[in-house]
Every structure is written in C-alpha cells, then in structure tokens.
Amino acid sequence: MNNKYIGVFDSGMGGLTVVKSIVETMPDENIIYFGDTAHVPYGTRSKEQITEYVLNDVKFLNTFDIKAIVIACNTADSIAREKVEALYDLPVFGVVGPASKKAAETTRNNKIGIIATNATVNSGAYEKNINRFNPEAEVISVACPLLVPLVEEGRFKKGDKVIEKVLTEYLTPLKEQGIDTLVLGCTHYPLLYDIIADIMPEVNIISSSVAAAEVLKKELCDSNMLSNNSGSSRKYFVSDNAEYFEGLAKIFMGDLGGTVEHVEI
Ligand code: DGL
C-alpha cells in the first residue's frame, strides 16, 4: 500500500485523458498533474527540445512526494523515456508500450494504423513495440500535426466542421489500406473518439490513455503500491493560463476534483 501521489504529465491538456482513465479505474489514487501548456505542442519539435521540456516537467513533478511517474504523452514517451528512467529512481509508466500490446493482440488481419504526432511517428516507437508483441503486424502510421492545436483550441466536439474535415483527410489513407485496428497514439486524441468512430465504424479503436491506465493499475497492484485512501486528492499545474485550461478541461472531464494553478518551471 502506498498513498503518495502519482505524478502525471503531458505537453497540455491531452494527459487529462489519462487522468480520466486513472480516476475511472483507480478512484482513490492521489494525482499531481502537470500540463506544459506554455510549450504545447511538443510533437512538431526536435528531439533535443522535447527532451529538455520533458526533463523539466519531471523535475517539477519530483518536487512533490510522488510514488510513480506517468508519461501521459506519446511524444514524450517515444523520445525521452529512457532519459527519465535513467535519472529517477521511481517507477516510470508510459503510453506507447500498453497501447502497442493491446493493438498487437486485437488485430485480426495484422494491419494496424497509428495516428500520432510527427515526433512519435518519426521515432518509430510504435512499430518497434508492436512488432515485439506481433512480428507479423504491418504498422501504417500517419502524422497528424493539426490535431493537437485544434484540440487545445477546444475544437474537439462532434459537429465541428473543421475538425471533422481534418480527421477525414488524415484517416482516409488508413481506411484505404484496410486496417482493422487504429491506435490513438496521442493522448489528445481520445477527445476525438466519437468523430473518429463515425469515420471508421468498422475499426477497433485503441486509446493509448485507457491502455496506459489499465497497465498502471495492474503494475501498482502487483507491486503492492495501490493506495488505500478513500477518495483522492488531485492537483493540476500548468505553465500557461490556468483559467483557460480549467474551462476546457471541465468540458470533457466534468469535475476535475482539484484546483488548477499556474507555475513557472
Ligand atoms: N498529447 C501528446 C502526445 O500524446 C502531445 C502532443 C503534442 O504536444 O504535440 O503525443
């Protein structure tokens, strides 16, 4: 049993989809969340720049009494995970490994599509991980650089013509290739789930956020690190406008269960 905080971070509000899944599966865990909203998006930046941001994010989370680090960002997980593991003597959880395993086990025709940021696609992290679990799988990746800025602008609701058009364009090549499984390889994308499901009704959609929370729960349980609190304490920090973040976050999460504060890191 361990009642310390789980430290979760992302470039912006995408990591809240991981928080949402953690709260749904482990309602009694204490969570510290950091969204680096001053620097979002990470996915179009260089490896060096992403690594620098990630190390600052983790340094901030580590100022709290945390029991684990959750990299709630596929871009950060693909690029800088090894650095984080090397620097901190804490269990580090990510999103790419859990989503890859689930996709590898779900596909029936061995054609898996990935939608993700440029940095995640260019890293090849999904291909490597999926082929570890299923060497036969063909992985077709599409970089979707417009999606994160649109989500951060609140353009994630069904009926929004702009996001629907952009998604149709990104998903059409995957449809044409006949994938039967699609990984939402960016934690911002679960906010677009309903629109994606309408465009690709015949495909199994794997959310990296849901997969990450499932693995986190199992690992914490196996290592006897789940909390025995009743209820959870949650604190949210962002590097840019806290009010803006809180407003958008409430639209899709409902009650955040904690305060949002701006911090300079
Ligand atoms: N939500 C993130 C991811 O999972 C980051 C997107 C970005 O900042 O570009 O990749």
**pLDDT in single tens digits along all 265 residues of the chain:** 899 999 999 999 999 999 999 999 999 999 999 999 999 999 999 999 999 999 999 999 999 999 999 999 999 999 999 999 999 999 999 999 999 999 999 999 999 999 999 999 999 999 999 999 999 999 999 999 999 999 999 999 999 999 999 999 999 999 999 999 999 999 999 999 999 999 999 999 999 999 999 999 999 999 999 999 888 899 999 999 999 999 999 988 889 999 999 999 8
Q: For residue 1, report the distance from its CA to the centre of ligand 1, in Å.
A: 31
- The Å distance, Cα 225 to ligand 1 centre, comes to 28
| C-alpha 37 – ligand 1 centre gap (Å) | 11
Query: Looking at the chain, which runs of residues are DSSP E strands?
Result: 5-10, 30-35, 66-71, 92-93, 111-116, 138-143, 181-184, 204-207, 234-238, 258-262
Residues with Cβ < 8 Å from 176, sequence gap 6 or more? none
Nearest atom, ligand 1, residue 78 CA: 10
Ligand 1 and 74: CB distance under 6 A:
yes
Query: Cβ contacts of residue 11 below 8 Å, gap of 6+?
Result: 35, 36, 37, 39, 40, 41, 42, 43, 53, 73, 75, 76, 148
Active site residues: 73, 186
Q: Does 148 sit in the ligand 1 pocket, CB within 6 Å? A: yes
pTM of the model as a whole: 0.96
